[in-house]
Amino acid sequence: MHLSLPPPNGPAHGSAMAGPLSAGTLGAAGQFITCALDAAEYGIDIMAVREIKGWSETTVIPHAPAWIRGVINLRGVIVPILDLRARFGMPLTVTTPMHVVVIIQCGARTTGLLVDAVSDIISVGPEEVRPVPEVGTGAPASLLTGLVPLERGMVALVSLESLLNFTNEVAVPPPELQS
């Protein structure tokens, strides 16, 4: 599924996003866990986060895009791990035990996101969310739902819906950038 970009006026799009999609998977306003990838900060809807755990070695999945780091055993459930840095077009993360996996649940699907560290929890009002410009961010625009300017810098809100909808791309690496 491809999500349309939010309309430019902030308050209007808050209500537009509350449509058919569940609040846990998407929604430009609310609380977000921010995590660091190098100097950049990304926000993940806190309602979708199930747990945060340390990095552990994965089982490699053959023929998968590089940003799928493999699968892990999460108490009996097999969960794929996405390298968020690589997913946003940057090089693969060189993992250490200090790296963190954010387990998120989106619909019936459970996935882990590999990030450098989890830094903060922020509350964002609908009026604070700015639209994602067509170009200028390093990531494919469809993977973001909005930008939030903070005093210490900018947080890019991640669209979990499009991030986890990788089934179609699994067969044809590398992923095409959608706009």
Partner 1 sequence: MMFDHLRDTYFEESAELLESAYAQLALLAEGTHDADTVHALFRAVHSIKGGGGAFGLDRVVGLAHAMETLLDLLREGELAMEPPLIALLLRGADALADLLTAERGGEGAPQGFEDNLVAAFHQAAGSARTSPASIDTAPAPPAGGGGASGWQISFRPHPALLRNANEPLLLVRELARLGPLTVKVDAAALPALECIEPEDAYLGWSFTLQAGVDRTAVEEVFEFVADDCDLVIEPMEPASGGVARDEPAGGSSPAAFPGSPSEAVAARHETPAPAASVRVDVAKIDRLVNLVGELVINQAMLVQLGSTLPPSLCPGLVGGLETLSQHLRELQEGVMAIRTQPVRSVFSRMPRLVRELSGQLGKDVRLVITGEATEIDKTVVERLADPLTHLLRNALDHGIEPSAERQTAGKSGQGTVCLGAEQRGGRIVIEVSDDGRGIDRARVLARARERGLVAPDAVLGDAETDELIFLPSFSTAAEVSAVSGRGVGMDVVRRDIQALGGRIAVESRHGAGSRFLLSLPLTLAVLDGLVVSVGRQAYIVPIAAIVESLRPRSGDIHALVGHGEMLAIRGAYIPLLPLHRCFGIPDAERDPARGIVVIVETDSDRQIGLLVDDLVGQQQVVVKSLDANYGPIPGTGGATILGDGRVALILDIPGLGYGAQSSSVPAPTPASQPQPALH
DSSP 34: E
Residue indicated by tokens 């469809």: 142
Helix (H, G, I), strand (E, B) or coil at 145: strand
CB 70 within 8 A of CB 83: no
Size of the residue set binding partner 1 (CB under 8 A): 33
Beta carbon of residue 59, minimum distance to partner 1 (angstroms, whole number): 4
Beta carbon of residue 34, minimum distance to partner 1 (angstroms, whole number): 24
> What b-and-e string marks burial along 72-97, b requiring 16 or more CB atoms within 10 Å of the CB?
bebeeeebbbbbbbbbbebeebebee
Q: Which is nearer to partner 1, 75 or 152 (CB)?
A: 75
CA dihedral sign of residues 75, 76, 77, 82? positive
Sorted by sequence, the CB contacts under 8 Å of residue 93 that are 6+ apart come out as 83, 85, 86, 99, 114, 116
The residue type found at 8 is P
Which residue stretch of 104-112, 121-129, 141-149, 151-159 sits at the interface with partner 1 (rule: CB under 8 A)?
Answer: 104-112
Binding mask 52-71 for partner 1 (x = CB under 8 A): -----xxxxxxxxxx--xxx
Return d(Cα 11, Cα 13) in angstroms, integer.
Answer: 5
Q: Which is nearer to partner 1, 41 or 116 (CB)?
A: 116
Q: Which is nearer to partner 1, 95 or 119 (CB)?
A: 95
Beta carbon of residue 85, minimum distance to partner 1 (angstroms, whole number): 11
> Does position 111 bind partner 1 by CB under 8 A?
yes
Q: Which is nearer to partner 1, 12 or 77 (CB)?
A: 77
Beta carbon of residue 167, minimum distance to partner 1 (angstroms, whole number): 4
Binding site for partner 1 (CB under 8 A): 57-66, 69-73, 76-80, 83, 86, 92, 94-95, 108-111, 167, 170, 173-174
